[in-house]
Amino acid sequence: MTSQRVGFVGLGLMGAPMAANIAIAGWAVTAWNRSDAAYEGLSGVQRAASVDELRNEDAIIFMLPDLPFIEEAASDLLESWRSVPPRPGTAVVIMSSVSPTAVRLFGETVHHASNGNAFVVDAPVSGGTAGAQGGTLAIMVGATESQFDHLKPLLASMGTTVRRLGPLGSGSLAKACNQLIVGTTTAALAEAAELAERSGMDVAALFEVLSGGLAGSRVLDNVGPRLAAKDYAPTGPAKFMHKDLGFVLDSAQAVGSAVPLAKAAIELYAELKRQGLGDQDLAVVRQTIANLSLTPAATSNSN
């Protein structure tokens, strides 16, 4: 596998370290990104002039904000494949958080455009920029067993937990479930932080105690310090949580599953976007809640 060639599209906060780790593991990586600055300091990765230039790679990874961006970026590539199909077994790997339904439709598009020679798998990730940089991402894969076995060494260069969860679309549904848990937990921690601070309590001390009990979680460990410090420098834009929770609602509607927490959370993150906070870190949901909160004086006057 280490002799294979890999294309990579999207060198953002997550994509750049992911591409670098693939190169470190021994693959020949050629990448395309819209802006030039992403290539600075990125060693071991060749630069492509266009996405279509990646048409002969064994696998092409997309790490863009959402599927419409991927479809736009891949349009010339697919048109090229309609004229000259790629070699059989070419993999298109969607590692972004996308709609489970839409990625299955995109798989059909790629299948027909490539004359059946290319296949799509969805393999979204969790672990944030720290996981991307350290190669310790959790990767949730929707693929056939043979496709997964073929791609697992490549995916393992970016993550330490790599699991196949079912056919195409299953990875995206797993990521939606992940975001439901992360989004609601972060919001609950933000509410607790505001309540504690307004009551005169030290938030950092509160979170330290909570981490030793049943409320302890990896979300608390990772996001808690930023919530306590009101550090909203982006490790990933908070606005994407609203998008991901939309996928939860769509998937739940398709199978008739009740998701009351997801419905409450998507409204909160919609408010976060309305407040103009969407480009900041997920922890900025604390500021959203603070902006919604009544002051003690206002609360007293309302009684």
Answer yes or no: is 300 within a domain: no
User: Final residue of a domain: which of 151, 168, 185?
Assistant: 168
262-279 pLDDT, tens digit per residue, is 999 999 999 999 999 999
Q: 121 pairs with which residues across the strands?
A: 93
17-34 pLDDT, tens digit per residue, is 999 999 999 999 999 999
Which tokens sit at 191?
């509410």
CB atoms within 10 A of CB 131: 22
Answer yes or no: is 154 within a domain: yes
Predicted local distance difference test score (pLDDT) of residue 210: 98
Same domain, 118 and 201: no
Same domain, 209 and 260: yes
Which CATH number is 179's domain given?
A: 1.10.1040.10
At residue 302, does pLDDT exceed 80? Answer: no
Three-state SS at 138:
strand
Phi-psi region of 133 (alpha: psi -120 to 50; beta: other; left: phi over 0): alpha
At residue 61, does pLDDT exceed 70? Answer: yes
Q: What is the band of 285 on the pLDDT scale with cuts at 50, 70, 90?
A: very high
User: Final residue of a domain: which of 168, 186, 204?
Assistant: 168
Cα three-residue angle 285-287-291, rounded to 5 degrees: 115
Same domain, 128 and 22: yes
Separation between Cα atoms, residue 24 and residue 33, nearest integer Å: 19
Q: What is the band of 295 on the pLDDT scale with cuts at 50, 70, 90?
A: low
| Alpha-helical regions (H) of the chain | 15-24, 67-73, 75-83, 100-113, 128-134, 145-156, 170-198, 203-211, 218-229, 239-255, 260-274, 285-292, 296-302
31-46 pLDDT, tens digit per residue, is 999 998 999 889 899 9
Number of structural domains (the chain) is 2
Boundaries of domain holding 69: 5-168
Which CATH number is 43's domain given?
A: 3.40.50.720
